[in-house]
Amino acid sequence: MSPITPPMKNSTAIGLTALFALVAFGILISLPEKKVARESSQDLSRVFPLASGKTLFEESCVQCHTLPVFSTHTPDQWKVLVKKMNRYMEQTGKKYLSADETDAVTSYILSNISTKH
């Protein structure tokens, strides 16, 4: 009495196991590699680490001039100005802000306009 399909040969089973292990290992080692590549494509040394709007304001804006007075500009003017200043920082090789940090600095300024006249 023989089975309808012959049992898998030992060598085939070992081959398949080895192939599966190779593929799994390949996926495993390729994952962290891709992540590192994505991070290092940006020059992180020149970008501020995410911090509070106040800290970012105090540390980034004094790179070229004294800290501005909040009451000199309207909220709409500040929104444009912070982006413009950040472009200056990037163009002149200073530390500059990410999009999230630009928003944090802008909200910090806007939240202080009403209290400091």
d(CA 37, CA 20): 26
Kindly state whether residue 94 participates in binding ligand HEC, applying the rule CB under 6 A.
yes
Token pair for residue 30? 């390729």
Residue from 60, 70, 104, 108 touching ligand HEC (CB under 6 A): that is 60
In angstroms, give the least distance from the CB of 95 to ligand HEC: 8
Distance of closest approach, residue 92 Cβ to ligand HEC, in angstroms: 5
- For residues 51 and 87, what is the distance between their CA atoms, to the nearest angstrom? 19
Q: How many residues bind ligand HEC (CB under 6 A)?
A: 15
Query: Closest Cα partner for 104 from 69, 52, 49?
Result: 52
64 belongs to the binding site for ligand HEC (CB under 6 A):
yes
User: Measuring CA to CA, which residue among 64, 58, 68, 65 is closest to residue 101?
Assistant: 58
Query: Should residue 104 be labelled a site residue for ligand HEC when binding is judged by CB under 6 A?
Result: no
Phi, psi of 29 (to 5 degrees): -80, -20
Closest approach, Cβ 44 to ligand HEC, in A, equals 18
Residue ranges that bind ligand HEC, judged by CB under 6 A: 60-61, 63-65, 68, 73, 81-82, 85, 88-89, 92, 94, 105
